Chain A
Amino acid sequence: MSFFKKLKEKIAKQADTVTEKFKRGLEKTRDSFAGKVNDLIARYRKVDEEFFEELEEILIASDVGVATVMDFIDELKMEVKRRNIQDPKEMYSVISEKLIDIYQTSGDETTELNIQPNGLTVILFVGVNGVGKTTTIGKLAYKLKNEGKKVMLAAGDTFRAGAIEQLEVWGERVGVEVIKQSAGSDPAAVMYDAIQAAKSRNVDILLCDTAGRLQNKVNLMKELEKVKRVIEREVPGAPHEVLLVLDATTGQNAMSQAKTFKEATNVTGIVLTKLDGTAKGGIVLAIRHELNIPVKFVGLGEKMDDLEPFNAEQFVYGLFSTFMEREETQGE
């Protein structure tokens, strides 16, 4: 049985609604990738240099990242040589096997948040401007509250106009408390306040918002380090998670973001937002491949419940499903 068949059966057992959401969210992605590969394989009679070049382009078009694509193509070429493949149709199985490999060699797949069984869990959100940090916090608060947790939000974006109000609206919607200070105040002080409040009110999970910052602004990254230090000092072992929020439409710069934020705050996971557009979020592959930071959640829409735990299998299935179905009929 092919890998894809197994994968498909496994997914079939999972809740249909979630799979549907993934499929819908990735509709555009899948269509373009799978469609293009099918088209490519149909057009070529021989697996040659030009074939690889086109395949390379298809992968690059999904923002996977040039370095990752080059590695991938090199591996494919070796495999083709080893098996002495000439007919492009045989490429279906080779391509899919190697694609899955990239995902799997990236290490353990834990999308579970590191939530403390007893006492306060602190989750810090970081990222560049406009990726959707505040919205993600709102969605995650809703999710955790529904799981029966007592959640509190810390309005650490004291810089951007309207950011505190935005988080407050989310707090009202979800029905959780928001700890804030006035605009322009020291974000580290807000965190300090929020932790004290969370402790005294027996909160389970504190979600900390921070202002968006471009990763090359040294001063702002230092400020973020300070925020983290304050949290570390006030709650031993905290922050239990540092989630980097990434916009799926971002190109190669996402790698630089992941790298720099990891250095400054030791990022433990990624939230990939805006995956409901035509953007492919392929850079996640490269980030997992090169930095080994797992994706924990994906944002698939604007509604309160549009945040899903990342499921590598579903992501792969959503990304390449048309392609896989084809492989099943072709390959066996």
Chain B
Amino acid sequence: MAFEGLADRLQHVMNKIRGKGKVTEADVKEMMREVRLALLEADVNFKVVKDFVKKVSERAIGQEVMKSLTPGQQVIKVVKEELTELMGGENSKIAVASRPPTVVMMVGLQGAGKTTTTGKLANLLRKKHNRKPLLVAADIYRPAAIKQLETLGKQLNIPVFSLGDQVSPVEIAKQAIAKAKEEHHDYVLIDTAGRLHIDEALMDELKQIKEVTKPDEIFLVVDAMTGQDAVNVAQSFNEQLGLTGVILTKLDGDTRGGAALSIKAVTNTPIKFVGMGEKLDALEPFHPERMASRILGMGDVLTLIEKAQAAVDEEKAKELEQKMRTASFTLDDFLEQLGQVRKLGPLDEILKMLPGANKVKGLNNLQIDEKQISRVEAIIRSMTKEEKMNPDIINSSRKKRIAKGSGTTVQDVNRLLKQFDEMKKMMKMMTTMPKGKKKGFRFPFM
């Protein structure tokens, strides 16, 4: 069962309509059915979908779609606008208490990723906001949960407050705040145990922690893969505790993440951050528009562009372009270029952000071998300065040495030299082309 994006779904309807010249109300209705299915397939709660489709239908039938020459695209546009609107504005602020420390409580179901997210959030507070957080291990139930937070604390070099698993979480939280005041921590992050929203005893415990610590933020940590039940979970936690924000985890998976929409719709609480990986810096601000595209299966070009902008140093790119024009491009320059491409992140992830990439035959199974790039880098690094400037001097004994130094074979070295040679030839051709036609430059081998 392959997920179909909204665009593909609408295409079916459009094929039928084509040639009819006019879009009828029945056609719009059929398109709305596709919108509905696309959202349901993305795990958006069915109640939320119902309200949403109703709203979109009104707009569609009213004016915009039926009069449009490209009704399919118009529907997508309307859907995306409404979806982005529903998702709310961007908001990744974290409260600051007028009298420190600021207390942040992390709550959620088992296995949502609270402990990992707590660690990530502490890292973010320190790195981006220059804060001095204290982590509090208040999960006394799950075996080794305290140890997990302590290990994360050690990795981040952020202190962890713990009283073992024999003291009540309420008491732990209380003492942690006293300790934070004493040691001048300006943030206290309380990692609570995972619990079911229908477990009254454990929900009461959270209420008590809230009472004692008077938190400035209560973040609900939710697994992005959650299905229809996300609504019940979010609603229940919100009613009982009053959430101030939501953090969506495991969004680096291939889930559409419709839960985000459901949660936003029922709690009206902003989604502040998203977890994008297992590393401790993989916590990013939530972007409503990108989430809307993702739920609709439309790729994530914006993130890709942003990544590229952050990773590629413009100065260096210009310098490189100059070198290419004058054909003074050396293996050293090539090495640098490779480094810039790699800064974008794992290549297969980059590919996934391209809209339609999962549709191209063969591309969805394409695995770019990061090792291959590492090998190329190793080979170039094993050359002497002279060799890099002037690869022509590399004879067979030099090749043997380079292969040995980089842990590759002479064939690998040969292949690289040949490719580099061809690349240079291509550049020469480019430079002889009339100016103006070759705006920007492409990465070779890509």
Most chain A CB within a 10 A radius of its CB, from B148, B152, B155, B230: B148
State whether A63 and B198 are in contact (beta carbons under 8 Å apart), knowing that A129-B250, A162-B144 are contacts in the complex: no
Q: Is the CB of B144 within 8 A of A166?
A: yes
Partner of B229, one of A60, A214, A249, A256: A249
A302 to B201: give the CA distance in the assembly, Å. Answer: 14
Partner of A280, one of B198, B229, B250, B259: B229
Whether A140 is near chain B, meaning CB under 8 Å from some CB there, is: no
Interface string of A144-187 (1 = CB under 8 A from B): 00000000000000011111011011100100000000010000
Q: Is the CB of B147 within 8 A of A249?
A: no
Q: Is the CB of A67 within 8 A of B253?
A: no
Specify which chain B residues have a CB less than 8 angstroms from the CB of A67 in the assembled complex. Answer: 1
A261 to B42: give the CA distance in the assembly, Å. Answer: 20
Whether B43 is near chain A, meaning CB under 8 Å from some CB there, is: yes
Stretch of A4-12, A87-95, A109-117, A270-278 lying at the B interface? A270-278
Specify which chain A residues have a CB less than 8 angstroms from the CB of B141 in the assembled complex. Answer: 302
Specify which chain B residues have a CB less than 8 angstroms from the CB of A214 in the assembled complex. Answer: 250, 252-254
Partner of B148, one of A62, A161, A249: A161
Partner of B196, one of A165, A215, A250, A276: A276
Specify which chain A residues have a CB less than 8 angstroms from the CB of B46 in the assembled complex. Answer: 57, 60-61
A183 to B150: give the CA distance in the assembly, Å. Answer: 14
Whether B19 is near chain A, meaning CB under 8 Å from some CB there, is: no
Whether A86 is near chain B, meaning CB under 8 Å from some CB there, is: no
Number of A interface residues in the complex (CB < 8 A) = 51
A172 to B254: give the CA distance in the assembly, Å. Answer: 37
Whether A255 is near chain B, meaning CB under 8 Å from some CB there, is: yes
Whether A269 is near chain B, meaning CB under 8 Å from some CB there, is: no
Interface string of A266-307 (1 = CB under 8 A from B): 000000001011111001001000100000000000100000
Q: Is the CB of B40 within 8 A of A60?
A: yes
Chain B residue with Cβ nearest A130:
B111
Specify which chain A residues have a CB less than 8 angstroms from the CB of B198 in the assembled complex. Answer: 28, 277-278
State whether A160 and B367 are in contact (beta carbons under 8 Å apart), knowing that A251-B227, A278-B198 are contacts in the complex: no
Whether B65 is near chain A, meaning CB under 8 Å from some CB there, is: no
Chain A residue with Cβ nearest B275:
A129
Chain A residue with Cβ nearest B165:
A169
A7 to B223: give the CA distance in the assembly, Å. Answer: 36
State whether A165 and B112 are in contact (beta carbons under 8 Å apart), knowing that A63-B228, A214-B250, A252-B256 are contacts in the complex: no
Whether A324 is near chain B, meaning CB under 8 Å from some CB there, is: no
Q: Is the CB of B227 within 8 A of A249?
A: yes
Interface string of B240-256 (1 = CB under 8 A from A): 00000000001011111
Specify which chain A residues have a CB less than 8 angstroms from the CB of B228 in the assembled complex. Answer: 60-63, 251, 280
User: Which residues of A in the span 8-62 have a Cβ within 8 Å of any Cβ on B?
Assistant: 28, 57, 60-62
Whether B232 is near chain A, meaning CB under 8 Å from some CB there, is: yes
User: Which residues of B in the span 215-237 have a Cβ within 8 Å of any Cβ on A?
Assistant: 223, 225-230, 232-233
Question: How many whole Å from A185's CB to the nearest CB in chain B?
Answer: 15
Q: Is the CB of A216 within 8 A of B253?
A: yes
Q: Is the CB of A162 within 8 A of B225?
A: no
Interface string of B299-326 (1 = CB under 8 A from A): 0000000000000000000000000000
A123 to B259: give the CA distance in the assembly, Å. Answer: 33
Whether B142 is near chain A, meaning CB under 8 Å from some CB there, is: yes
A170 to B143: give the CA distance in the assembly, Å. Answer: 8
Specify which chain A residues have a CB less than 8 angstroms from the CB of B43 in the assembled complex. Answer: 251-253
Q: Is the CB of B42 within 8 A of A166?
A: no
Interface string of B305-349 (1 = CB under 8 A from A): 000000000000000000000000000000000000000000010
Most chain A CB within a 10 A radius of its CB, from B142, B151, B196, B197: B196
Specify which chain A residues have a CB less than 8 angstroms from the CB of B359 in the assembled complex. Answer: none
Question: How many whole Å from B89's CB to the nearest CB in chain A?
Answer: 26
Chain A residue with Cβ nearest B42:
A252
Q: Is the CB of A128 within 8 A of B37?
A: no
Whether B169 is near chain A, meaning CB under 8 Å from some CB there, is: no
A113 to B253: give the CA distance in the assembly, Å. Answer: 30
Specify which chain B residues have a CB less than 8 angstroms from the CB of A131 in the assembled complex. Answer: 111
A153 to B250: give the CA distance in the assembly, Å. Answer: 27
Specify which chain B residues have a CB less than 8 angstroms from the CB of A1 in the assembled complex. Answer: none
State whether A216 and B223 are in contact (beta carbons under 8 Å apart), knowing that A132-B111, A247-B111 are contacts in the complex: no
Q: Is the CB of B278 within 8 A of A165?
A: no
Question: How many whole Å from B351's CB to the nearest CB in chain A?
Answer: 11
Specify which chain B residues have a CB less than 8 angstroms from the CB of A78 in the assembled complex. Answer: none
A308 to B161: give the CA distance in the assembly, Å. Answer: 37
Whether B41 is near chain A, meaning CB under 8 Å from some CB there, is: yes
Whether B50 is near chain A, meaning CB under 8 Å from some CB there, is: yes
A159 to B229: give the CA distance in the assembly, Å. Answer: 29
Specify which chain B residues have a CB less than 8 angstroms from the CB of A280 in the assembled complex. Answer: 228-229
26 A-B pairs (CB sep. < 8 Å)? A57-B50, A60-B228, A63-B227, A128-B225, A161-B115, A162-B144, A162-B145, A162-B150, A166-B143, A168-B144, A170-B143, A173-B143, A249-B226, A249-B230, A252-B3, A256-B254, A256-B255, A274-B109, A274-B111, A276-B196, A277-B233, A278-B197, A278-B229, A278-B233, A280-B228, A302-B141
Sample of 13 further A-B pairs with CB below 8 A, known A128-B253, A247-B225, A252-B3: A162-B149, A166-B142, A173-B143, A214-B252, A218-B348, A249-B109, A251-B225, A253-B43, A256-B254, A274-B111, A277-B198, A277-B233, A278-B233
6 smallest CB-CB distances across A and B, nearest first, come from A251-B227, A162-B148, A130-B111, A169-B143, A161-B151, A251-B43
* B→A interface (CB under 8 Å): 1, 3, 37, 40-43, 45-46, 50, 109-113, 115, 141-152, 155, 196-198, 223, 225-230, 232-233, 250, 252-256, 258-259, 278, 348, 352, 367
